[in-house]
Structure 1
Amino acid sequence: MKRTRVIAAFVTTVVAAAGLSACAATGSSSDGSVTVSIMETKQIGIDSVKKQIPGFEAAMKKQGKNIKVKLVGDVLTDPQFVTKITQQFIAGEAPDVIDLGDSMVPGFAGAGYLAPLDGDLAKWDGWGHYFPQIKKAMVRQDGKIYALVHDTGVQNFFYRKDLLTGYGVDTTQPATWEDMIARLEQVKAKNGNLPPIVIPAGTAWGGGSWGEGFQPILAGVDQKYYSLKTGKWDLKSSGWLPTFNLYSELVTKGLLPVQDLENPNPWEPTKYDKFPAGKLQVSAQGTWGWKFDWGPAGATPIADLETKVDTWQYPAMESGGKTYGWSGLGSSYGVAAKSTHKEAAVLLAEYLSSGKPLAEQLVASGAAPVRDDIADVKPFSGEPKLVQAGKDLASSLYVPTGDGSEQIAQAVANATELILQGKANGQQAYDAFVKDATDLLGPTLVK
């Protein structure tokens, strides 16, 4: 499962303590060729990029460019990756291109480790095909772009259509959370009185309680909780309290699996056990669920997945509001600031973010496209759920945030934990959140 990890503080700590670490050297050879390196730390990425290297080298040769690619494949956890790449950045030995999660970009860019790409992207014909909201979200607080996003996801609610249909429960899109809760109570009355929905919450889910749980709901109420212009968080923004109240209502009515959410790895009993087994019928989930979680090669495959499972968008908090999906930037190609072959490195990143190479990678990872010209490209065109996710981006919300995200995530996890433990209602959890977040953020990051 692709879980949100908030690592900016960890990046800072590692930078302060890092030493030197060797990395495969790149450069020019006696035959006039240039070798650029690319680092991949997930097996899917390693396999995908390895497959694309011959095509890139051949395409460059047709353009009169003799560029060779060295794949640095090393399967690492996010903390392991951050430690290793930070050491390499400091030593000036980082690979030319680094495939990294978007949440890592602000920390590395702020430390001066990534090269700005604005000038290169402005000259690239593929740039005009990127969705406007994706292009906007790539811009950092200083107004520059430091990494080229190549995939994204749309998060909404996956539900067991087969089971709800069997229960006689309406499967049309719930318009509001009131409708959704009424629907969930009907499901609970039919499923043996079991909690029917999982939304990440509490401390055990870590950063996911914010990025995959709370924030998508919050953004449906109010999107002014963070200002890129000022770099400050508005803890009095109108969406916080209604969202905490919603969590409290879900817990009070027995709709959230509290015991499972207190599990050290809460995604296992919920998404990997009960949802596939039909003992939990609705799950907050991103596009990657079609592949990573429940696809044929996923963590817990569901037979006939696309027949048994369908999706709802997030309901509106109040009547008259719009339903929506929640999108986020997925993985990005950054170019090391100290790369001696930036032009070739950017060409590689652009190639991998275009046409068939991109289509193949999106299918492998279960991701949605970040550009408007991929839906008809094979093999992506043969994946109707992923194609639909790309269409859903048009109505999806995304609120870029910056410094303080990790502190907000911690405060939300702590406050929702109080709700899970029955120690706070919505108002009390919100009050605890404001105090906690204020202490964690400090005066410079709070409006």
Structure 2
Amino acid sequence: MSKRVAAVVSVGLVAGLASACGGGGSSSSSSDTIKVAYQKYGTFTQMDDLMQKVKKDFESTHKGVTVQLVPIQATEGDYYTKLALMNKSASTAPDVMYEDTFQVKSDVKAGYLAPMDDYLAKWSDWSQFYDNAKQAGLGDDGKTYGVSMGTDTRALWYNKELFAKAGLQVPWQPKTWADILTAAKTIKAKLPGVIPFNIYSGKAQGEGATMQGFEMLLYGTKDTLYDASSKKWIAGSQGFKDSLGFLGNVFSQGLAPTPEQSLDKNIGTTIATEWLPQGKLAIDLNGSWQSGTWIEGGSKPWPEWSTVMGQAAMPTQDGQDPGSTSMSGGWTLAMGSKSKNKQAAFDFISTALNKDNSMAYDIAASQIAVRKDVSEDPSYDKANPSFAFFSSLVKVTHFRPATADYPKISNDIQVAMESVMTSQQTPEQAASTYDQALEGIVGPDNVTKQ
């Protein structure tokens, strides 16, 4: 496993830290209380389990210091908003934060995060993290603002029993986008009442729509969002239009959930706890973490998942090399810039991400490990039958552009997706609207047109 994990992190994991809202109690102005903010929503309860354990461990070794946990019950988009609001005031800002990787540089720019280099230099466990995984929490200044908890890949989950009933071959590995549409159309014709294919789309799904949906298409074309060599964003690409075109076909042909269902913020929970286990959805474009809901100890155990559900790599548009594609991200723990007790904040982070806690979390949340001693432990590799497949995708995976502007650009991608899925714009019109918005965000000099 270690070589596969080293490959995924070496491509360039970006990292961030997150936080949330709400939660009364002691404020960060008190140095004997540290506030820890994280997401707890739907089927994602593994982080809360970890934080509850670490709180007990930490308080037993740090007498006089209290950990105030602030679990945020919110979707990703609402969670990021609440994080920003929380960080604006010293009285509410968390000492330790959990956040999606793509937010890190914008949060550093906003002044929410504190560098941890001095603390990391004294932490012996830091040497266990893959060298390039350490880039996960880097800011533009080269300092480290977050420590990676794990990474992931994305692919097609499909119900083998439904495929067999529809007369489709199992195992299934589509070679082109057209193959996915063909399978979805067959499901629709042969199995009325079954949703053929889910692809996340629209503003309600936030970054999930951009990364699990649009970018899984775009990075399977000949185009990308950003030219790293020239440090310019790309406008007018055929791949962008084709990706929106595929999305439009899926929705206009009734191969996906209805737009109303797709724009429900809770659809991810519905898919994991109802549609897939109950045989109501045939194909789901989703992440390696999906099985974390179904394993023993998950929020919705499904003992049969490993025999019912198959996994297939997402093919490139026309089957061109390398034949398949994926996207990788990850989450980190980071230290708040307004913390009054940064040593305690770092001690909490180092406790949460020691070997034992990292192993437990990576297995429970179906994460690809970023610690060498975890990824090389036989018990990790044996814990989940899907780990080997999803780790094998690291050789074809891609990462989101690591810029402070990316969150704003992602939002406009979601707008384009939603306008196409609801038939408000054609793919060409939506792409043109996006191009205009892109120039407004980064400036014409930072855009290259194709």
TM surpasses 0.5: yes
1:93–1:244 distance in 2 versus 1, CA, 3 Å: closer
Distance 1:376 1:67 in 2: 34
* Equivalent residue, structure 2, for 1:202: 202
Q: AA paired with 1:168? A: G
Correspondence list, 1:313-332, <5 A: 313-322=313-322, 323-330=324-331, 332=332
Distance 1:387 1:270 in 2: 20
Structure 2 residue 24 is matched with structure 1 residue 22: no
* Equivalent residue, structure 2, for 1:111: 110
Correspondence list, 1:49-128, <5 A: 49-52=51-54, 70-77=66-73, 79=78, 83=82, 87=86, 90-91=89-90, 94-121=93-120, 124-128=123-127
For residue 107 of structure 2, give the secondary structure of its aligned residue in structure 1.
Answer: helix
* Equivalent residue, structure 2, for 1:430: 431
Distance 1:358 1:268 in 2: 24
TM-score, normalised to structure 2, is 0.77
Q: AA paired with 2:47? A: G
1:111–1:439 distance in 2 versus 1, CA, 3 Å: closer
After superposition, the C-alpha distances for 1:361-399 in whole angstroms (9 at most, x for unaligned) are: 223333332233313548644422463244544542212
| Residues 96, 333 of structure 2: 8 Å contact kept | yes
Distance 1:446 1:364 in 2: 41
| Residues 419, 429 of structure 1: 8 Å contact kept | yes
| Residues 204, 261 of structure 1: 8 Å contact kept | no
In the alignment, structure 1 segments of 5+ residues that lack a partner are: 1-7, 15-20, 28-34
| Residues 201, 209 of structure 1: 8 Å contact kept | yes
Distance 1:377 1:269 in 2: 34
CA drift of 1:355 comes to: 1.2
Q: AA paired with 2:148? A: V
CA drift of 1:305 comes to: 1.1
1:203–1:338 distance in 2 versus 1, CA, 3 Å: closer
Structure 2 residue 399 is matched with structure 1 residue 398: yes
1:264–1:270 distance in 2 versus 1, CA, 3 Å: same
Correspondence list, 1:91-170, <5 A: 91=90, 94-121=93-120, 124-131=123-130, 134-170=133-169
Structure 2 residue 176 is matched with structure 1 residue 180: no
Distance 1:255 1:83 in 2: 34
Distance 1:121 1:230 in 2: 33
Correspondence list, 1:343-362, <5 A: 343=343, 345-362=345-362
1:87–1:444 distance in 2 versus 1, CA, 3 Å: farther
1:376–1:68 distance in 2 versus 1, CA, 3 Å: farther
* Equivalent residue, structure 2, for 1:30: none
- Bigger relative contact order, structure 1 or 2, given CA contacts below 8 A and separation 6+? 2
| Residues 298, 364 of structure 2: 8 Å contact kept | no
1:69–1:150 distance in 2 versus 1, CA, 3 Å: farther
For residue 276 of structure 2, give the secondary structure of its aligned residue in structure 1.
Answer: helix
Q: AA paired with 1:74? A: V
* Equivalent residue, structure 2, for 1:243: 243
In the alignment, structure 2 segments of 5+ residues that lack a partner are: 1-15
Which of residues 47, 50, 58 is equivalent to 2:49? Answer: 47
1:130–1:419 distance in 2 versus 1, CA, 3 Å: same
| Residues 134, 370 of structure 1: 8 Å contact kept | yes
CA drift of 1:247 comes to: 1.6
Distance 1:153 1:159 in 2: 18
* Equivalent residue, structure 1, for 2:282: 281
After superposition, the C-alpha distances for 1:31-55 in whole angstroms (9 at most, x for unaligned) are: xxxx866444536434323324565
| Residues 223, 238 of structure 2: 8 Å contact kept | no
Distance 2:96 2:237 in 1: 39
For residue 277 of structure 2, give the secondary structure of its aligned residue in structure 1.
Answer: helix
For residue 150 of structure 1, give the secondary structure of its aligned residue in structure 2.
Answer: strand
| Residues 214, 243 of structure 1: 8 Å contact kept | yes
1:348–1:105 distance in 2 versus 1, CA, 3 Å: same
1:260–1:280 distance in 2 versus 1, CA, 3 Å: farther
Distance 1:306 1:214 in 2: 27
Q: AA paired with 1:167? A: A
| Residues 276, 301 of structure 1: 8 Å contact kept | no
Distance 1:187 1:93 in 2: 50
CA drift of 1:311 comes to: 1.4
Distance 2:277 2:382 in 1: 24
After superposition, the C-alpha distances for 1:298-356 in whole angstroms (9 at most, x for unaligned) are: 566545111111211211122332213321122x1112334455455434423422311
1:83–1:423 distance in 2 versus 1, CA, 3 Å: closer
| Residues 36, 67 of structure 1: 8 Å contact kept | no
Q: Which moved more, 1:130-139 or 1:234-243?
A: 130-139
Distance 2:34 2:176 in 1: 51
Distance 2:95 2:269 in 1: 36
TM-score, normalised to structure 1, is 0.77
Q: AA paired with 2:154? A: Q
* Equivalent residue, structure 1, for 2:5: none
| Residues 156, 313 of structure 2: 8 Å contact kept | yes
Distance 1:344 1:280 in 2: 46
Q: AA paired with 1:363? A: I
Root mean square deviation of aligned Cα? 3.8
Q: Which moved more, 1:143-152 or 1:368-377?
A: 368-377
For residue 196 of structure 1, give the secondary structure of its aligned residue in structure 2.
Answer: strand
| Residues 156, 311 of structure 2: 8 Å contact kept | yes
| Residues 23, 88 of structure 1: 8 Å contact kept | no
1:163–1:386 distance in 2 versus 1, CA, 3 Å: closer
* Equivalent residue, structure 2, for 1:5: none
Q: AA paired with 1:426? A: P
Distance 1:237 1:125 in 2: 46
Q: AA paired with 1:107? A: S
Q: AA paired with 1:25? A: S
| Residues 141, 229 of structure 1: 8 Å contact kept | no
Distance 1:249 1:84 in 2: 36
Distance 1:394 1:117 in 2: 30
Q: AA paired with 2:310? A: D
| Residues 150, 370 of structure 2: 8 Å contact kept | yes
1:410–1:341 distance in 2 versus 1, CA, 3 Å: closer
- Percent identity over the alignment? 23
1:438–1:164 distance in 2 versus 1, CA, 3 Å: same
Correspondence list, 1:202-351, <5 A: 202-222=202-222, 224-226=224-226, 232-237=232-237, 239-261=239-261, 263-265=263-265, 266-267=267-268, 270=271, 272-292=273-293, 294-295=294-295, 301-322=301-322, 323-330=324-331, 332-339=332-339, 341-343=341-343, 345-351=345-351
* Equivalent residue, structure 1, for 2:3: none
CA drift of 1:196 comes to: 0.8
User: Paired residues, what number?
Assistant: 417
